[in-house]
């Protein structure tokens, strides 16, 4: 058990051996820096050079889906000048590698991607968040604008974030009905579920409203490096309503009194780059509540994660006033 890296299920010895897939990095030390769906490690060579290794959770994304993610990231960098992560190919010249790194020998080989280390810092709550959200809006608009004229390569495959794949019992992130502290509040959550489905069906999935998005464009996935803003972690990118990118930006802080100001800042930045109708803007609250339901499901299905366990203490009860306010105006 001492070979396991925290709660990742990854063997330190097996991971060290797997670094031989990138010969220039096989002597690197590694340190876990993030663990949600995947495990992310900072690699450091004896000379101080760094890179970032992402070990994918087995079964979450297929090889085609990961290669599609990498293709879009590189297209955004090439076509829009956006600063997105750059993969480092392995000895066989492929960006996507795999190796059996789990402590459980029954878990097959897991996919891995090594990225160049990006300098910069994550925006903090002490920063000018309005400025940061304006930049988030601009980045989202650039990405959405790109998608509407980009032809994906053959075999392109990403997740579909729809009302069904988020709200159904077999949703991509789990079942919101199984979230901790849900039983006493299930009726109001069920009413929200039904309202969201009705409004999203009416809103529709036209090409002007629905397409490939980052789907996790939070401040935690930005790096500020001087005058440059870098967008990282495309692992959840998939097909969804474009405005869901704003909802993702306020993940876990939907009930903050700052949200109206942040919303205005995001819209200001977005409209500097790409048009957005008032009809679309009117469904922002719907996207916020859809994301809230996705997070509710995620917490329930990831309760073994320390972060999810901490959020579970009050996430469902805190959601009730938000739901009641939404239903009063949108129900």
Q: What is the total count of domains within the chain?
A: 2
> Is 62 found in the same domain as 141?
no
> Is 143 found in the same domain as 75?
no
Mean pLDDT, residues 231-252 taken together: 96
212 or 220: which leads in pLDDT: 212
> Is 260 found in the same domain as 154?
yes
Q: Rounded distance, CA 217 to CA 230, Å?
A: 11
Q: Rounded distance, CA 101 to CA 186, Å?
A: 40
pLDDT at 159 over 60: yes
At 219 the pLDDT is: 87
Whether 200 and 163 have beta carbons less than 8 Å apart is answered as yes
Please indicate, yes or no, if residue 174 is contained in any of the structural domains: yes
Residue whose C-alpha is closest to residue 197's, from 167, 238, 161: 167
At 220 the pLDDT is: 87
> Is 174 found in the same domain as 306?
yes
Please indicate, yes or no, if residue 7 is contained in any of the structural domains: no
Q: What is the pTM of this model?
A: 0.94
Angle between helices 284-301 and 186-203 (to 10 degrees): 130
Write down the H helix ranges in the chain: 12-18, 63-80, 129-147, 163-167, 186-203, 244-249, 259-273, 278-281, 284-301, 306-311, 315-330
pLDDT at 1 over 70: no
Q: Tens digits of per-residue pLDDT, 80-98?
A: 999 999 999 999 999 999 9
What b-and-e string marks burial along 53-71, b requiring 16 or more CB atoms within 10 Å of the CB?
bbbbbbebbeeebbbbbbb
Q: Place 124 in a pLDDT band, splitting at 50, 70 and 90.
A: confident
> Is 215 found in the same domain as 111?
no
CATH of the domain at 68: 3.30.200
> Is 161 found in the same domain as 88?
no
At 123 the pLDDT is: 86
Mean pLDDT, residues 280-296 taken together: 98
Residue 153's domain comprises: 129-330
At 305 the pLDDT is: 85
């Amino acid at each position: 058990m001492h070979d396991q890296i925290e709660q990742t299920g990854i063997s330190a010895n097996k991971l060290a051996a797997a670094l031989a897939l990138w010969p220039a990095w096989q002597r690197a030390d590694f340190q876990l820096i993030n663990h949600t769906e995947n495990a992310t490690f900072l690699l450091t060579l004896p000379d101080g050079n760094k890179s970032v290794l992402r070990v994918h959770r087995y079964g979450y994304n297929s090889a085609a889906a990961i290669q599609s993610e990498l293709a879009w990231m590189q297209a955004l960098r090439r076509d829009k000048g956006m600063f997105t992560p750059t993969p480092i190919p392995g000895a066989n010249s492929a960006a996507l590698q795999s190796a059996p790194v789990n402590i459980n020998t029954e878990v097959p080989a897991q996919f891995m991607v090594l990225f160049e280390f990006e300098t910069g810092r994550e925006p903090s709550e002490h920063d000018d968040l309005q400025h940061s959200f304006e930049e988030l809006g601009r980045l989202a608009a650039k990405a959405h604008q790109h998608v509407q004229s980009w032809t994906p390569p053959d075999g392109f495959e990403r997740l579909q974030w729809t009302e069904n794949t988020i709200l159904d019992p077999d949703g991509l992130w789990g079942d919101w009905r199984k979230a901790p502290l849900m039983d006493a509040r299930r009726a109001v959550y069920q009413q929200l579920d039904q309202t969201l489905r009705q409004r999203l069906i009416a809103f529709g999935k036209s090409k002007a409203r629905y397409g490939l998005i980052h789907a996790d464009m939070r401040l935690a996935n930005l790096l500020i490096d001087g005058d440059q803003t870098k967008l990282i972690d495309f692992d959840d990118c998939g097909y969804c309503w474009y405005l869901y990118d704003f909802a993702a930006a306020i993940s876990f802080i939907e009930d903050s009194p700052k949200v109206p100001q942040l919303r205005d800042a995001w819209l200001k930045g977005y409209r500097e780059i790409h048009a957005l109708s008032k009809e679309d803007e009117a469904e922002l609250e719907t996207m916020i509540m859809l994301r809230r339901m996705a997070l509710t499901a995620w917490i329930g299905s990831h309760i073994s994660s320390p972060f999810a366990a901490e959020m579970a203490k009050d996430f469902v009860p805190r959601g009730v006033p938000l739901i009641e306010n939404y239903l009063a105006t949108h129900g």
